[in-house]
Structure 1
Amino acid sequence: MSATPLRRVAVLVLDGAKPLDVGIPAQVFSTRASMPYQVRVCGAAPGLVAGGDGLSYHVAHGLEALAWAELVLVPGYRFPDRDTPPQSVMDALAAAHDRGARLAAISTGAFALAAAGLLDGRRATTHWHYTRALAEKYPRVLVDENVLFVDAGSVLTSAGAASGIDLCLHILRGDLGVAASNHTARRLVAAPYRSGGQAQYVPRSVPEPLGERFAVTREWALHRLGEPLTLEILARHAAVSPRTFSRRFVEDTGYTPMQWVMRARLDVARELLERSERGVEQIAVDVGLGTGTNLRLHFQRILGTTPSEYRRTFARGE
């Protein structure tokens, strides 16, 4: 039996790179039986790279790793609004994109992609502290400050450092399926599906006492996806009016309550398709979508495929 080819990942470490941002992709996309990736950590040139927060990095590879990789991750770095990566780095990023590699930035790594012109006309995000600076320095970028990450197809961006985990898990879900992503999340002791947007982490002048209450309601709902869940039911659990619940929910997560419930139901359906032999009709009932027709409709609308095609792609043993 031939071995499955490893997916090639390059982690580009720039001057001032932040240690958590560098460590996340190197940890997530590890070479192991359950995670078939080969990772090369690189810089503008092989050797020592001065990092942020008192750390430095010794990288074994230069920009040739970007020509080798299928996925290039750019960790965040210090002073992105002031410092621009070398032209050789921007050229290598653009060349990797042109030949079909996916590029993903963690936190302020988005500034490097923007400097290379790869975010022009695209929706993107970065750490909340730098969203205004990104929009001002690169006005052609459509900056969204209220999300944990943005998937614009061949180019992806994430908010602050910890949201790099959300971005990497999202990439895993697309590559290997929900079960593999959840397995990795458990290994990292991370939430497999964080419901909030980065708006909830921006400092506010007035305390928001409802935040924890709403988080409890989201957790409560995740254990009851097979039951009827309406805006009124969720608001009642949070002990606020439906209007207040809906407004605050969008502020916290970037989704309306019902959009969030639908995506949570589809995530459970995806894992059942991967890990069980249940039919589409039964899965639809299990996740609260009622009928197979309804499940197929939402699967196609949100994921762009059918349950059957998804199962053929990601089922165990395939």
Structure 2
Amino acid sequence: MENRRVPTINESNLIYLVLGILLLTLGSVVQQINLNIGLIITEYLLVLLPVILFLRYKNYSIREVLRLNFINFNQAVFVFFIILFSYPIAVFLNFIVSTILSNFTNATNTGVPIPLSLNEFLISLFVIGVTPGICEEVLFRGMMLNSYEKLGKNKAIIITAILFGLFHFNLFNLIGPMFLGIILGIVYFKTNSIIASMWGHFINNSLALTIGYFAMQRVGELEDIVVNNPEINQYQEIKVTIIVLFIISTISALMLRTLIVHFPEKKDKIDNIDIDEQIEYEIEESTEVIEKINWAPVGIVILIFIFVNAMFFITL
């Protein structure tokens, strides 16, 4: 049992709690001083580094835990289009939540910072695209998804997707990340590689940045449309937006299902482990399933999430 290839669920849950606290404390402080530098510090020093140090300290194989396997060109293309068609669905889900919450508060979901210039856009691609794609994937699809896999792949994907959404500590931006977490989990298992989920995470964040960037270039035109059409009230605008997003999301869902069903999986190798090693690993994991799972760390994070968002609403 001392040579397990992946951390236990309890170990992952504890790391999840500690990193969540670090994110809300030290991470918030450094981000308030300077957003870009603060995000880099938060992701690399408060999320990625502790996970790597923990795996090294416990003598887990980083390569096996994270499944650092290459993906081929076809898989990379499929992941790109899977995320492309997943994005409208995530936007639609977040919009529905935001619309409901707007009845109780004047706050809105700020989302990712929108770059105003080409230079800011390129910097943001690294800070908001590349960085979370690496650091957050190592934590969630790398360590945590592998830990939870002993409960079954479907359960592991759903549970870690929920934890991924909660980790944003933003009620306005909860359902979208959860949905993205499910898609990234599917991609991760389809390719048997964290590189695929990193690529998908990068595409998702970069897509949001790109849309926001080009939308800001047309902000004047959008304002003119609103000014010149005063008969369009807020409720009509929300209704039209919901209808349009629903249609786009429905089409996207159909395309997404097709892409996932026909995804080019690797079936010749399992983490580059030979058959005897894999059988021994599976026996070892089946023994771990009977271990009692300590859900306290996850429960604490949920309570923190509720408290943070409740205070946000109260202060408004």
TM-score by length of 1: 0.29
| Greater RCO, 1 or 2 (C-alpha within 8 Å, sep 6+) | 2
Give 1 or 2: higher helix fraction: 2
TM-score by length of 2: 0.29
